[in-house]
Structure 1
Amino acid sequence: MRVSAKADYAVRACAELAASPHGDPVRAEDLAAGQGLPVSFLERILGDLRRAGVVASVRGRSGGYRLVRPAEEITLADVFRAVDGPLVTVRDERPPSLTYDGAAAGLLDVWVALRASVRDVLDVVTVADVVRRDLPPAVRRLAARADAWENP
């Protein structure tokens, strides 16, 4: 699985917003500076997050962006879907809509299992978990596996 720059930047921006004192709005320029992100690309990402109902824009002198819901209620899957669409697709189709014949018939189960495993992580980790550095136990166990980053 490949995590796009867009998804990575979106999660990082949401983490910065979650860390904002009292949930105060944060300007896009400050979000970008806090994470070393290109501001013009981040502004487009923030637009996607706003349209998806993850962040809201606040106008005025002390305006910027803020999370719409508490960080404890926003999963990484919410953020990924807001900027990249469905979590797992095969040729831009969701696995359940695919059919395979003959020797490849078993492949559909692999794609569905892949989708389920991605959801097992991204649907349970919240933006607040990331900010607190306190991931759910099942995710911590996966991250701690000795072979997690080994190349076969």
Structure 2
Amino acid sequence: MRISARTQYALRAAAELAAASPGPLPADKIAEAQGIPRRFLDNILLQLRRAGLLRSRRGPDGGYWLARAPDQISLADIVRIVEGVPEGGDHGGFPGVAGPLADVWDALRDHEQALLSDVTLADITRRSAPLAPPAAATPGSPRP
């Protein structure tokens, strides 16, 4: 899986909001804390707000906050908003003996999605995110 800079910035901004005390956090504080270019961040925050993941308030006491509790927002939620829904497993098939590779790519994508779905913003802010492969993986099987 390739994670774009935009998605990485969105994940970092969301983690910053999850760790913030209740109430709005100004975009400039998020940008400064995470080293994200402000104009780029503004577009990301707007996208996350339009998707219903964030709320915002204007004015001197304004800023952004999460629309749900950090333990109710998975990394997959953020990736889906920023990157869109992942494509299906149609690789067009591979010829000959390489045919089974399509199944490997599908399994890899499924494992990535399972891991991102299992890890929440609360896990990230607690610094105890489960980094092991999803439970469906069997011991001794290759890790993605």
Give, in whole Å, the separation in 1 of the partners of 2:16 and 2:2.
Answer: 23
Identity of aligned residues (%): 46
TM (norm. structure 2) is: 0.83
TM (norm. structure 1) is: 0.79
Give the superposition deviation at 1:98. Answer: 4.3
Equivalence for 1:145: none
Equivalence for 1:26: 25
Give the superposition deviation at 1:6. Answer: 0.8
What are the superposed Cα offsets for residues 69-104 of structure 1, whole Å, 9 maximum, x if unpaired?
0000000000111111124xxxxx421x44415424
Matched, 1:50 2:49: yes
Matched, 1:13 2:13: yes
Could you tell me whether the CA contact under 8 Å between 2:94 and 2:101 is conserved in 1? no
What are the superposed Cα offsets for residues 30-58 of structure 1, whole Å, 9 maximum, x if unpaired?
10001111000011111111122111122
Give, in whole Å, the separation in 2 of the partners of 1:78 and 1:101.
Answer: 31
Write out the 4+ residue segments of structure 1 that deviate beyond 6 Å after TM superposition. none
Give, in whole Å, the separation in 2 of the partners of 1:40 and 1:94.
Answer: 33
2:57 corresponds to which letter in structure 1? V
How many residue pairs get matched? 133
Change (3 A) 1:35 1:60: same
Could you tell me whether the CA contact under 8 Å between 1:99 and 1:105 is conserved in 2? no
Task: Report 1:140-151 matches (<5 A).
Answer: none
Equivalence for 1:108: 102
Which consecutive unaligned segments of at least 5 residues does structure 1 have? 88-92, 140-147
Which consecutive unaligned segments of at least 5 residues does structure 2 have? 134-142
Taking only aligned residues, the RMSD between alpha carbons, in angstroms, comes to 1.9
Could you tell me whether the CA contact under 8 Å between 2:94 and 2:102 is conserved in 1? no
Give the superposition deviation at 1:120. Answer: 2.3
Could you tell me whether the CA contact under 8 Å between 1:58 and 1:64 is conserved in 2? yes
